[in-house]
Chains A and B, each alone.
Chain A
């Protein structure tokens, strides 16, 4: 009547039970992992309404420059009314952002820390008994007040953006965007700032969200692809430039029609010869070029924690000649943000490895004890060390013998690339400069764009010069 039961049933149940216990241990471990490592970034999300309620019990903390100067603070008057104050007015407008009418910049990025209080237990109890709010933690940024100010002044009344960062750590030392707004009067100015007829875009952080044609700074990418396709003889490329390069019906002009004459690869890069690079582009494998652009983070998310736009590069196999000629010299459909250009340059300066850019150095409680310290993190390699060394050498030539003459000095060595990006036939070109110094052991990277600034070498490079001078005089 009854079949033989499984004599090992208990053993088998034990095995399955172990399996399930293991599953639960995994679940609990994942839970802990989430809370230890990921929850900070997860909860500091603008969709997380919970953070707003923190403000009922905590006075928003201060945001400070790297040397401890206050750049945002909350004042509480006798009646307990709070107001956010920015002592430097518009100097840090975009990068620090605002915290009324939504939150942007570091105000958004560090919202959770600013609204969390780590004052000591005794003080908490005391505050509780006297019904005073606890003071939120202070956020110390990586921003250098002097460099920020110098960049802000150097850009002056012109529109554009400047990014200064350390290639070996990813620390952002300065980030300026113009036109700007005054965060102290944001509420009063709001209607004007968001009005439809206002096309200036003062609220836009051009450093991270402004998309510009890269112009000749893109020749770094074209050059890298050329080097990859011709590993043994890429230096042998030559071109004879008479200022206007014709291909069928198409014409590519060098800047201001300058005839560069006989150019080898190094000279063509240093002098930013459009003819040479357009012609070079025709010989490249278009999918290869797209892959290289993608590896350099075009069309992809950037390791950046504040709002940014994705750079775009669209040309692939099957593109027509005109598109190739244009794209090879950074015109056409390609668009890039100043921060992305800075990151590419930083990777070249740092042996091919991109360090994740970051803005918050540490979080301190009111007493100055460090609550959380942020460490440099590597994003990965955008190119090999050899490739970065070769590109550095070519970029050095831009300064010593080419368009980057504004950076020639005995005080330190700069490697860079200028660009004059055309965006509207009727208007002046955008002026670009990307570069780093010192070449031997890069400490600082600068990316500058001046909208309608004309020539990169004449408008953007001098701004970089001012900043390098300041950096190395400190």
Chain B
């Protein structure tokens, strides 16, 4: 009987997330505010139902009372967060808040299934991050000075990355984090933001050749430091973000071409020079020759995705823990294995939906500074999603980055909350402006 309940709930969850994802794109073609609000309410409804179904399964499988308390705490958090955002900011982008909550709920579900302790920690971090970042839209609206300190962003970022490169603790061969007491933080997650701010402030002042050279040099130092720290995923993200921002700021195709060309050349060089790059690429090309060794992670991930199939094995029915660092870089495979590929693809499209929302906001901003910030942060966000999901499915070589809001990790959660907060701030700014204009 239990199996039956679990099977049925699983299909319901897939149906609901498909509906949620559909609404996510449907909203782009709706102009009417009342209709938009109705769509958002339906999304909330779908999210809470998925969350409920999942925790019913978790309860059946574990019979652990703590799960009930944890579930209720999460529901409370989502309700309060959704409510508070709208209370503080009348003109908030509900779609973005909804998507954040949706991704977070999936994160809680998977992490609870993988490790209750980690899920608890993640929950606490999320609550703290949510509270702290709730003020960001307020700040963005009022502190124009943010555009006046490019070198604080630029040099601060380089300094932080440099410290990690030299003194960072290594995990899986890469220098990623700094230990501070019991905590370890991953500075590159925050430097992403200062980096975008640096580029935006510089190009907002001028896009003459001299500035381009200066900014390129600083960006290059960022990227190189990351490469030396063996944080290839971040290096790639930083690189792409710079080239894209440069192109949008200057409008010169030559820069884009040079960027793409230079990037390809640099990748080739990196492949020749760095052993760790070569290892990754070779493990990607043919992981099957060394399943027990270098190909272990990716083949386990493919086993998980393949065995799960379109509709998944069901929570607790797969073996996601066979995949190393499943709760971080490989959370997507765990979702695909137990909740199904359809569910996982919906998550992918929800992320894409967030990005499209980012781009829409960027295109509406008149000020170059804001436009570049929205665009840059959006690019960073979406490339991170692409690298993670592409990596775990063997579409591209695995680069070891996390899926924002879904993967376990405090720095990643906090920085993503900040990014969403900034974008939200820009959206609110614009809407407020429009309202004033109308009045």
Q: Are A30's CB and B393's CB within 8 A?
A: yes
Cα–Cα distance between A128 and B375 once the two chains are bound (Å): 52
- Determine the residue in chain B with the shortest Cβ distance to A7: B251
Cα–Cα distance between A34 and B390 once the two chains are bound (Å): 12
Which B residues, 391 to 419, have Cβ-Cβ distances below 8 Å to chain A? 393-395
Q: Are B345's CB and A31's CB within 8 A?
A: yes
Q: Are A128's CB and B3's CB within 8 A?
A: yes
CB distance from B416 to the nearest CB of A (A): 18
Quick one: which of B3, B250, B390 contacts A27, CB cutoff 8 A? B390
Which B residues, 352 to 399, have Cβ-Cβ distances below 8 Å to chain A? 352, 355-356, 359, 362-363, 368, 371, 375, 379, 382, 386, 389-390, 393-395
Quick one: which of A2, A6, A27, A50 contacts B303, CB cutoff 8 A? A50
Q: Are A3's CB and B207's CB within 8 A?
A: yes
B48 within 8 A of A: no
Q: Are A42's CB and B310's CB within 8 A?
A: no
Q: Are A47's CB and B305's CB within 8 A?
A: no
A10 within 8 A of B: yes
CB distance from B373 to the nearest CB of A (A): 13
A304 within 8 A of B: no
Known A45-B291, A47-B292: A16·B306 in contact at CB below 8 Å: no
CB distance from A299 to the nearest CB of B (A): 16
Q: Are B363's CB and A12's CB within 8 A?
A: no
Quick one: which of A4, A26, A28, A48 contacts B345, CB cutoff 8 A? A28
CB neighbours (8 Å) of A5 from chain B are 207, 249, 368
Quick one: which of A4, A14, A16, A35 contacts B341, CB cutoff 8 A? A35
Cα–Cα distance between A49 and B299 once the two chains are bound (Å): 12
Which A residues, 380 to 431, have Cβ-Cβ distances below 8 Å to chain B? none
User: Range of interface residues on chain B?
Assistant: 35 or more
CB neighbours (8 Å) of B207 from chain A are 3-6
Which A residues, 21 to 64, have Cβ-Cβ distances below 8 Å to chain B? 21, 23-24, 26-28, 30-32, 34-35, 38-40, 42-43, 45, 47-51, 53, 57
A8 within 8 A of B: yes
Q: Are B310's CB and A35's CB within 8 A?
A: yes
B87 within 8 A of A: no
B106 within 8 A of A: no
Known A8-B251, A16-B244: A27·B306 in contact at CB below 8 Å: no
A 57-76 binary contact with B (CB < 8 Å = 1; else 0) = 10000000000000000000
- Determine the residue in chain B with the shortest Cβ distance to A52: B319
CB neighbours (8 Å) of B395 from chain A are 26-27, 30-31
CB distance from A199 to the nearest CB of B (A): 28
Q: Are A12's CB and B247's CB within 8 A?
A: yes
CB distance from A181 to the nearest CB of B (A): 27
- Determine the residue in chain A with the shortest Cβ distance to B310: A35
Cα–Cα distance between A31 and B244 once the two chains are bound (Å): 26
- Determine the residue in chain A with the shortest Cβ distance to B299: A47
B 1-19 binary contact with A (CB < 8 Å = 1; else 0) = 1011000000000000000
Cα–Cα distance between A33 and B309 once the two chains are bound (Å): 12
Q: Is the interface of B mostly helix, strand, loop or mixed?
A: helix
- Determine the residue in chain B with the shortest Cβ distance to A42: B306
B322 within 8 A of A: yes
B156 within 8 A of A: no
B162 within 8 A of A: no
CB neighbours (8 Å) of B356 from chain A are 17, 21
CB distance from B299 to the nearest CB of A (A): 7
Q: Are B352's CB and A39's CB within 8 A?
A: no
- Determine the residue in chain A with the shortest Cβ distance to B344: A31
Quick one: which of B208, B291, B382 contacts A3, CB cutoff 8 A? B208
A129 within 8 A of B: yes
A188 within 8 A of B: no
A20 within 8 A of B: yes
Known A21-B352, A128-B3: A12·B306 in contact at CB below 8 Å: no
Q: Are A20's CB and B382's CB within 8 A?
A: yes
B27 within 8 A of A: no
Q: Are A35's CB and B249's CB within 8 A?
A: no
Cα–Cα distance between A9 and B303 once the two chains are bound (Å): 44
CB distance from B423 to the nearest CB of A (A): 14
- Determine the residue in chain A with the shortest Cβ distance to B204: A2
Q: Are B208's CB and A34's CB within 8 A?
A: no
Which A residues, 324 to 377, have Cβ-Cβ distances below 8 Å to chain B? none
Interface centre among B3, B299, B306 (most CB of A within 10 A): B306
Cα–Cα distance between A402 and B390 once the two chains are bound (Å): 60
B315 within 8 A of A: no
Quick one: which of A27, A50, A128 contacts B348, CB cutoff 8 A? A27
A13 within 8 A of B: yes
CB distance from B294 to the nearest CB of A (A): 14
CB neighbours (8 Å) of B317 from chain A are 53
Q: Are A47's CB and B244's CB within 8 A?
A: no
CB distance from A91 to the nearest CB of B (A): 32
CB distance from A113 to the nearest CB of B (A): 13
A307 within 8 A of B: no
- Determine the residue in chain B with the shortest Cβ distance to A29: B395
A470 within 8 A of B: no
- Determine the residue in chain B with the shortest Cβ distance to A14: B363
Cα–Cα distance between A43 and B300 once the two chains are bound (Å): 9
- Sampled A-B contacts (8; CB under 8 Å): A3-B206, A21-B352, A24-B348, A24-B386, A34-B305, A43-B307, A45-B303, A50-B313
Residue positions of A touching B, CB distance < 8 A: 1-10, 12-14, 16-17, 20-21, 23-24, 26-28, 30-32, 34-35, 38-40, 42-43, 45, 47-51, 53, 57, 125, 128-129
Q: Closest 9 A-B residue pairs measured CB to CB? A: A39-B306, A6-B251, A43-B306, A48-B303, A5-B368, A50-B307, A3-B206, A10-B363, A42-B306
Residue positions of B touching A, CB distance < 8 A: 1, 3-4, 204-208, 244, 247-251, 291-292, 299, 302-307, 309-310, 313, 317-319, 322, 341, 345, 348-349, 352, 355-356, 359, 362-363, 368, 371, 375, 379, 382, 386, 389-390, 393-395
